[in-house]
Amino acid sequence: MMKTWQAGKRLLPMTAALGLLLAGCGREDLSVLRPQGPVAESSYGLMKLSITIMIVVLLIVFSIAAYVWIRFRRKKDQNEIPEQVEGSFKLEVLWTVIPLILVIVLAIPTVKVVFAAGNDHSDDKDAIKVKVTGHQYWWEFEYTDYGITTAQDLIIPTGKHIAFELSTKDVLHSFWVPSLAGKMDTNPDGTVNRFSFSAPNEGVYRGKCAELCGPSHGFMEFKVKSVSGEAFDKWVASMKAPESVMPEDPVLAEKFKSQCLSCHAIGSMPASPVAPSLTGIGSRESVAGILLNDDTREDGAPVLENLKTWLHDPQSVKPGNKMPNPKDKGLSDEEIDGIAEFLAGYTLD
Amino acid sequence: MDWITTVDHKKIAILYLWAGGLFFGIGGLEAILIRIQLIKPMNTFLDAQTFNELITMHGTTMIFLGVMPVIFALMNAVIPLQIGARDVAFPFLNSLGFWTFLFGGLLLNLSWVMGGAPDAGWTAYTPLSGKGYSATHGVDFYTIGLQIAGLGTLIGGINFLATIITMRAPGMSFMRMPMFAWATFITSAIILFAFPAVTVGLVLLTFDRILDANFFNVAGGGNPVLWQHIFWIFGHPEVYILILPAFGIISEVIPTFSRKRLFGYSSMVFATILIAFLGFMVWAHHMFTTGLGPVANALFSVSTMLIAVPTGIKIFNWLFTMWGGQVRFTTPNLFAAGFIPTFTMGGVTGVMLASAPADFQFHDTYFVVAHFHYVIVGGLVLGLFAGLHYWWPKMFGRMLSETLGKWTFWTFIIGFHLTFFVQHFLGLMGMQRRVFTYLPNQQFDTLNLVSTVGAFLMGVGMIIFLVNVFLTSRRPADAPEDPWEDGRTLEWTIPSPPPEYNFKQTPLVRGLDAFWKEKMAGHKGMTPAEPVGPIHMPSATILPFLMSVGIFIAGLGFMFSRDEFSSSIMSFLFNNYIVTALGLLITFGSMLMRSLFDDHGWHIEPEELEGR
Ligand code: HEM
Ligand SMILES: [Cu+2]
């Protein structure tokens, strides 16, 4: 008893040091090693525990190895035959029992967290319910209690449990926000997955698709924006009561209606199953999930520029995506720029 | 011609080695291309589609066509010698196994030039691998190529089982068998149980794609997650098919170069059996994020962690084999020494992955890429290098250069750790796997650059090895019978390379490490268990080659049976299954020939044996 306690005491500073070391790794809004919510925190706890155990194991193996390589290296004119040892019952039992104990030490908290993570808040009245649908290569978010649907940006209120219901319209995808929670696959109809997470702090977190889904799999990103409760309510209200916006120029409006709204939805139109909703696209974090609308950063650009990039050639942004090139739909460069300007100005509030 | 008709296990070993080397080279080139693409963010060296084809083919090629045949090469070269047998149990099948493997591999690689390689990942998850989302013939090449190659593996496995069960020299009980023979035995048993699963899976997927069946198609009532279960029920044991032979090799090399018997032999045997058994119970740890639910996740988590126990036994037994010995760092032993820490690192990340809630973060990221490369490259490939350098003189009668061997080792292992160590961090920092490029400013850039540099260094190591092989092949074949001087097992009692009948007289085995035991008793060689007599040999035959050609043609014919061709003759031939039938006719015709014409083989007479 005394012994294990002492070993634990020795492990403690090591865990702390390791935690600090790992915490230096990666961006706060993206890295598994810098968890920003309780669910990611619990995975991270297991990771720290397991890596501490594993580093201890490695140190033991490495030191024995180094010792035997140096100590028992064959020397010049060393020719006597070493004793042919059969084995040692005691030693072999020792290195069967110790790993077994280590496994148990890791298995108990693992099982605990597995069952805790199984708690998906799907019948928690207080939770925000979001139906996530994966598409090649964009994400759709439907807030079933509010009757609103958005794409690419998942807006959530801080501190609340978000109860997800995941599925896909085409191939498998996997819904992953590393700094908030581990990933969960989206399966085709029939096997809906549920899980939940919450974000205590305001911020924008990077989300990714983690299951190979085609050429643009690597570009199937999204943003989770956690905002205060009031800001969230305001956003919901403005999503629910959108003004019926159209480009001012009637020719452009007609083109937009016939060429774009055949797949996309805006405002109060019912959500389209083939293309992301464009409601309030001017105030999103990104266009197409990857072109960042932030001109204060070197990898970002103003939303207008991003929209133009996308609309002039969607394939070059996301190879293999399912949107036809507006040019092939008979839109001139000026018309495309015009629509881009209109969309950039289409903000909520 | 000699090579096409041979049924000699030693020559088939060399065929496996060359074919494996070829595919390993292709897989390696694919890897280098992948790493060049990922050297910097938003790189445009490759397009997304080509990249997905490359990762799919790299994984498939390396696992099925790169390392498996090299394993089979060593088994073929060594197992009959180690157990004191004149041949394998079924020489004809042995040759058939090789040719089906080769033609399956060729078929798969034809996809590069015949309109699109498979692009759904080596795991070919449906629906992405279904007709609807992968419209080229790529995945058909995958299903049919692997089906044919898998046939060869299954045949090989059964052959080794029969050989080891029935053909051990007098006195060699199971508990006196060398560890590599044990590893081969258990590996073959895993093959026997695991390969039928993938065979079924590939048939179902082929039917979905070519005959519009609905096994995995949701709209038709199928279930895509079913594919994942079938795939991993095969796929996880496959990992042990790869690593157990490496364990076997390491268990031969370390005792030889420590001049000590293997520490804890019986616990090693027990651990091997336990690992194989547990290997079948843990497949769903590849599917934690599929949504199996907490009960399944908890069970599979714990059962996976248990594998650490027998694996740990092995590692400490190896360390204590060297303890008190006289360790000599020849090239084979350098690789064995490199194996221990490297494989242990892969093992511990495996235990980390086994914890399901943590795996929700690790799964499908570069952390996993790092883990399985530590196990497969850091474990198996280092093991194979150890085995190749160790048995090369026995196989070819020539010693590989020690200087070049050491250069191979150092460049390869340094390159390896550069490439894959940093990938653990990439994964934890949020980089998913199988992405053809990544956005800048995610702090992925430097680590990816380091990884690519490492990959080139590994490439240099491989080239040095090839140079070594080339230079060695030009030197005279003068390796002694027991070139490492401390050989412990039967293969070191006969000339290098062995004569076609292996043993003039079957040896009498008096204990574990039979040869070492005789040497310690002051004897020069083994005591024979039989008088010199005529030796029965199987005849060479071209039938296995023809059978495989037939299956290859049938596969191609079936694959294109629904295609429209510009020429009407081609359409007629393919659409009416005439090509398929022709291929099958060749195969079944050859089988009929084999049944109709009795071939009793031939004998080497005692005078001839003495005459040398
Ligand atoms: C000129 C008319 C169109 C405009 C202005 C337009 C605009 C856009 C924009 C701004 C996005 C990015 C959405 C986001 O990030 O939330 C997008 C994505 C998309 N659009 Fe369109 N679109 C048009 C026509 C179409 C049509 C006709 C289709 C259907 C056939 C379509 C299908 C898609 C799809 C599938 C995506 C998601 C691509 C991905 O991220 O993988 N679009 N479109
Ligand atoms: Cu994806």
Closest CA to A227 of A122, A138, A349: A349
Beta-carbon-side half-sphere exposure of residue A21 (alpha carbons within 13 Å):
10
CB contact under 8 A, A182 and B429: no
Q: What is the pLDDT of residue B337?
A: 96
Query: Is the pLDDT score of A325 beyond 60?
Result: yes
Confirm if A140 and A132 have CB atoms less than 8 A apart: yes
Query: Is the pLDDT score of A4 beyond 70?
Result: no
CB contact under 8 A, B289 and A191: no
When mean pLDDT is compared across A127-131, B96-100, B130-134, B272-276, the lowest value belongs to B130-134
**Rounded distance from Cα B437 to ligand 2 centre (Å):** 13
**Rounded distance from Cα A228 to ligand 1 centre (Å):** 30
Confirm if B444 and B431 have CB atoms less than 8 A apart: yes
**Site residues for ligand 1, CB cut-off 6 Å:** A 137-138, 151-152, 259-260, 262-264, 274-276, 281, 287-289, 307, 310-311, 318, 321-324, 326, 331, 339
Residues 6+ apart with CB under 8 A from A240: A146, A147, A148
Which residue from B minimizes the CA distance to A95?
Answer: B313
- B176/B561 Cα distance (integer angstroms): 53
Residues 6+ apart with CB under 8 A from A35: A41, A43, A44, A179, A180
Which amino acid residue places its CA nearest to atom 21 of ligand 1? A323
- B582/A57 Cα distance (integer angstroms): 59
Q: What is the pLDDT of residue B449?
A: 96
Taking contacts as CB-CB distances below 8 angstroms, the residues of chain A near B320 are: 85, 88, 91
Whole-number percent of chain B with pLDDT over 70: 100
Which residue from A minimizes the CA distance to B306?
Answer: A103
- A70/A87 Cα distance (integer angstroms): 21
Residues 6+ apart with CB under 8 A from B192: B154, B157, B158, B161
How far is the alpha carbon of A307 from chain B, nearest alpha carbon, in Å?
18
Query: Is the pLDDT score of A17 beyond 80?
Result: no
Which of B136, B214, B289, B436 to mutate: most A Cβ within 10 Å? Answer: B289
CB contact under 8 A, B261 and A193: no
Query: Is the pLDDT score of B168 beyond 70?
Result: yes
Which residue from A minimizes the CA distance to B435?
Answer: A218
Q: What is the pLDDT of residue A3?
A: 46
When mean pLDDT is compared across A1-10, A188-197, B245-254, the lowest value belongs to A1-10
Tens digits of residue pLDDT in A221-232: 999 999 999 999
Mean pLDDT of chain B: 94
**Rounded distance from Cα A328 to ligand 1 centre (Å):** 13
Q: What is the pLDDT of residue A47?
A: 95
Tens digits of residue pLDDT in A163-204: 999 999 999 999 999 999 999 999 987 789 999 999 999 999
- B218/A274 Cα distance (integer angstroms): 18
ipTM, 2 dp: 0.92
Considering only CB atoms, B439 lies closest to which of A69, A72, A299, namely: A299
Q: What is the pLDDT of residue A22?
A: 59
Confirm if B225 and B139 have CB atoms less than 8 A apart: no
The continuous run of DSSP H or E covering A128 comes out as: strand A128-135
CA B441 to chain centre: 39
Tens digits of residue pLDDT in B3-37: 999 999 999 999 999 999 999 999 999 999 999 99
Rounded to an integer, the average pLDDT of B541-555 is 95
Query: Is the pLDDT score of B157 beyond 50?
Result: yes
Taking contacts as CB-CB distances below 8 angstroms, the residues of chain B near A73 are: 326-327, 329
CB contact under 8 A, A61 and B437: no
Query: Is the pLDDT score of A14 beyond 80?
Result: no
Tens digits of residue pLDDT in B457-494: 999 999 999 999 999 999 999 999 999 999 999 999 99
**Rounded distance from Cα B384 to ligand 2 centre (Å):** 35
Name beta bridge partners: A206: A223
Cα dist. B48→A139, A207, A326, B435 in Å? 20, 20, 22, 8
Rounded to an integer, the average pLDDT of B520-541 is 91
Cα torsion angle, A147, A150, A156, A161, sign: positive
Pairing of strands A128-135, A138-143: antiparallel
Which of A41, A67, A78, A85 to mutate: most B Cβ within 10 Å? Answer: A85
Cα dist. B540→A10, B5, B139, B501, B603 in Å? 67, 5, 36, 14, 13
Tens digits of residue pLDDT in A300-313: 899 999 999 999 99
Q: What is the pLDDT of residue A78?
A: 84
Tokens at residue A251, please? 């020719």
Closest CA to A117 of B289, B353, B281: B289
List, as one string, the DSSP characters of B378-436. Answer: IIIIHHHHHHHHHHHHHHHS-PPPHHHHHHHHHHHHHHHHHHHHHHHHHHHTTPBSS-S
How far is the alpha carbon of B137 from chain A, nearest alpha carbon, in Å?
16
Which amino acid residue places its CA nearest to atom 20 of ligand 1? A323
Tokens at residue A88, please? 């040692």
The side-by-side arrangement of strands in the sheet containing A162-168 is A148-151, A138-143, A128-135, A162-168, A193-197
Count Cβ atoms within 10 A of the Cβ of residue A263 and give its class: 0-12 exposed, 13-18 middle, 19 or more buried.
middle
Tens digits of residue pLDDT in B142-152: 999 999 999 99
Residue A10: band (very low, low, confident or very high) from pLDDT cuts 50, 70, 90: low
Rounded to an integer, the average pLDDT of B53-82 is 96
Q: What is the pLDDT of residue A1?
A: 37
Phi-psi domain of B370 (left: phi exceeds 0; alpha: psi -120 through 50; beta: other): alpha
In this structure, chain B runs to a length of 612
Q: What is the pLDDT of residue A2?
A: 41
What global pTM score does this model have? 0.92
Residue B572: band (very low, low, confident or very high) from pLDDT cuts 50, 70, 90: confident
Query: Is the pLDDT score of A268 beyond 90?
Result: no
Confirm if B478 and B398 have CB atoms less than 8 A apart: yes
Rounded to an integer, the average pLDDT of B365-382 is 96
How far is the alpha carbon of B467 from chain A, nearest alpha carbon, in Å?
29
